[in-house]
Amino acid sequence: MRQHTHPFVPYRPERYDEAEMLRRGRDFVSFVDRRRSVRSFSDEPVPRECVDLAIAAANTAPSGAHFQPWKFAVIGDAETKHRIRVAAEAEERVNYEGGRIPPEWRAALARLETDSDKSFLDVVPWIVVCFAEKSTAMPDGSLRKNYYVNESVGIACGLFITALHAMGLSTLTHTPNPMAFLTRICERPGNERPYILFPVGYASPDCEVPDLARKPLAEASTTVPPPS
C-alpha cells in the first residue's frame, strides 16, 4: 500500500450488483429529467433549512486542490430582493431593448420567450447568489490563490440545483450581465465575483415552461475507438 505524507482515511463506497446499479441509474435519470428551469414562482414560504441543505449538498462538490472556491449568499428580506430585481432589470433592459444581445443570441432565446421582466425576484421566498472566489482570504489576512475556479463552482452549482429538485423546489440559473451589482448589494469582497443568481421557491400553481426536448444520448455521447 502506498505510504502517504498527509492524512488519508479509508474509503469504501457502496457497491451493487449489475441489476441494482442499472435500476438506480435509470431511476436517477428519470428523476433529474423531470427538473425544469422556472420563471413563475409561488410566494409560499420555504424553510431556510431547505436552502441550507442545498448549499450543504453543493459543498460536497469536488474542487481544484479541494479549495472549495465558492460562497453562497442567501437573501430572504423583501427590500434586498427588490433591490436585486431593480438592478437586474436595468441590466436586462439594456440587453433586450438596448441591443446588447446580438441578433443570433436573441433568435436562440426566442423560443424561451424570456425578456427583461424579472418580477419573480420579488415573489420568491429566497434568492441565493453563488459567488466564485478567485482567491480566498486567509486568517492572517493574506489571499490564497484558487485553482480551476469556474469548473469547481460550476459543479457545486449543479449539485445545488439537483438538491433543490430533490426537495420539490424550483430554481432558475439567472445570469444578468454584467452582474457587478450583486457584489455591491450582497456586500461581498473584491476577491469574489457573482457566478449565478438562483431564485428559490415552489413553482406557481399555474406555472408553464417551454415545451423542450433534451438531445438524445446518441448526440450527447460518443465512443472513442481503440487504437488501430
Identify the DSSP state of 61: S
User: Is it the case that residue 10 has pLDDT exceeding 80?
Assistant: yes
Q: Domains in the chain, start-ordered, CATH in brackets?
A: 38-203 (3.40.109.10)
pLDDT score recorded for residue 82: 98
Identify the DSSP state of 71: E
Convert the pLDDT of each residue in 12-62 to its tens digit. Answer: 999 999 999 999 999 999 999 999 999 999 999 999 999 999 999 999 999
pLDDT score recorded for residue 47: 98
**Average confidence (pLDDT) over 194-205:** 98
pLDDT score recorded for residue 33: 97
User: Is it the case that residue 2 has pLDDT exceeding 90?
Assistant: no
Convert the pLDDT of each residue in 101-148 to its tens digit. Answer: 888 988 999 999 999 999 999 999 999 999 999 999 999 999 999 999
168 contacts 180 by C-beta, under 8 angstroms? no
Amino acid identity, residue 61? A
On the CB side of 7, CA atoms within 13 Å amount to 0
Share of the chain above pLDDT 90, in %: 92
Convert the pLDDT of each residue in 61-77 to its tens digit. Answer: 999 999 999 999 999 99
**Average confidence (pLDDT) over 89-97:** 91
Higher-pLDDT residue of 95 and 60 is 60
* Beta-bridge partners for 221: none
- Residue 97: pLDDT band (50, 70, 90) is confident
Extended strands (E) in 87-163? 126-133, 135-137, 143-145
User: Is it the case that residue 1 has pLDDT exceeding 80?
Assistant: no
Enclosing H/E stretch for 90: helix 78-96
